[in-house]
Structure 1
């Protein structure tokens, strides 16, 4: 957490203030009035976007410097987000609490920890609710335009399909695109999306 808090100790928004293009493109899956959890939310660009869409948003983030900027962004956009300073590995994944669970670029953990987080995300999703994940594939390492350097932290379609076995897969796609998300994600990138519905 210390490393991330130091990284966010700048007045600039490291990943920009615009939401992930992935979320913007999935607006049809983000209905007003739904409850949403944004995990490892960083500086608030995605949780604030969800709140602007009319969702009731809880944002979990461990770095105080990031949360301070997220609060400023929410205030500037005129929306309310329940920002929670919390370590993702200590989070209370209360069963069935959220209609939408959103994870964008949270690939700072290895396979064992990731499996635990995925299980938590699944547990806290309400029956019939969605998990939305956006991240990098191993091909991203060659691009060097953001993300972790350890290939074990990255996602493949097979990995995500297995992790959400038994769920209805609405979208699972690996692709390349050019990102312009602050200094943190800039340039051609190897990306992957998952949208999965929990059995009702």
Structure 2
């Protein structure tokens, strides 16, 4: 918790263009205290948290890495409130790559980053993985719980924002589909280093991200919190892992009811096992 809070205080302060001295003055402490917070040497007094959150224009929950907003940060929050499943309930094809490469012949912990309505998380749980999942959309989390209950499996699901949440427990598999474009460019290296550090030796990351192409028009959805990725960018974060797949695809999509196309980079990377 201390490390998570330290990172978020630092990130939100930098985002506002404040120095440690300016933040210290705003909340009535010394700049040495702010430095200790950001280096995870101490925690802010609980009485300071409301003022600290107001100064950084965020919420106390977000400072600790959990999502709690009055505004929606994804255009799909409203879509997920409908009775049907916006993305359906069939698992993503990348799920089968996980099954093929690291089948659950022993207990394996899997994290689904940005689980949406839970179709992939529940698929993994049905196949014997110990699944943890998070998403920023309340409606998506509720649908994930409902889908897991219908399938009579357990998924440990919670609400968090990919920008703020960092791992503090190890997983064998990290999976994410259609979510990574919400990561701001300046946070990408830190986030992926965190995911890699908390992956067990021999573990697997199966990820994808939308990439910009000059020959493909922008999608019709207005995504105010999406950020551009470029070809090869995702793979560069895994230069020190074994890359089993770093291909690109172009596919047709009807998610908005308007025909359009996407380009997507896929990545399957395995963490080196130092014992082998």
The question of a shared fold, defined as TM-score above 0.5 by the shorter chain, is answered with yes
Contact 2:163/2:183 (<8 A) preserved: no
Deviates more, 1:32-41 or 1:141-150: 141-150
Residues 173-192 of structure 1 mapped to structure 2, 5 A cutoff: 173-178=247-252, 188-192=261-265
Give, in whole Å, the separation in 2 of the partners of 1:147 and 1:194. Answer: 26
Deviation at 1:12, TM superposition (A): 2.4
Would you say 1:169 and 2:238 are equivalent positions? no
Higher strand content, 1 or 2: 1
Q: In 2 relative to 1, CA 186–130 (structure 1 residues): closer, same or farther, beyond 3 Å? A: farther
- TM-score, structure 2 as length reference: 0.63
Residues 8-157 of structure 1 mapped to structure 2, 5 A cutoff: 8-32=80-104, 33-94=107-168, 97-106=170-179, 107-139=181-213, 142=217, 144=219, 152-157=227-232
Contact 1:94/1:123 (<8 A) preserved: no
3-state SS, counterpart of residue 217 of structure 2: helix
Give CA deviations for 1:26-48 in whole Å, capped at 9, x if unaligned. 43024213110001111101111
Deviation at 1:53, TM superposition (A): 1.7
Give CA deviations for 1:90-145 in whole Å, capped at 9, x if unaligned. 324125x1000011111122211233322221122111101110222213952637
Give, in whole Å, the separation in 1 of the partners of 2:211 and 2:257. Answer: 16
Give, in whole Å, the separation in 1 of the partners of 2:257 and 2:188. Answer: 21
Contact 2:217/2:261 (<8 A) preserved: no
Count of residue pairs brought into register by the alignment: 197
Quote the RMSD (CA, aligned, Å): 2.8
Give, in whole Å, the separation in 1 of the partners of 2:221 and 2:103. Answer: 30
Q: In 2 relative to 1, CA 63–149 (structure 1 residues): closer, same or farther, beyond 3 Å? A: closer
- TM-score, structure 1 as length reference: 0.84
Counterpart of 1:196 in structure 2 is 269
Q: In 2 relative to 1, CA 155–36 (structure 1 residues): closer, same or farther, beyond 3 Å? A: farther
Structure of larger gyration radius: 2
Deviation at 1:174, TM superposition (A): 0.6
Deviation at 1:162, TM superposition (A): 1.5
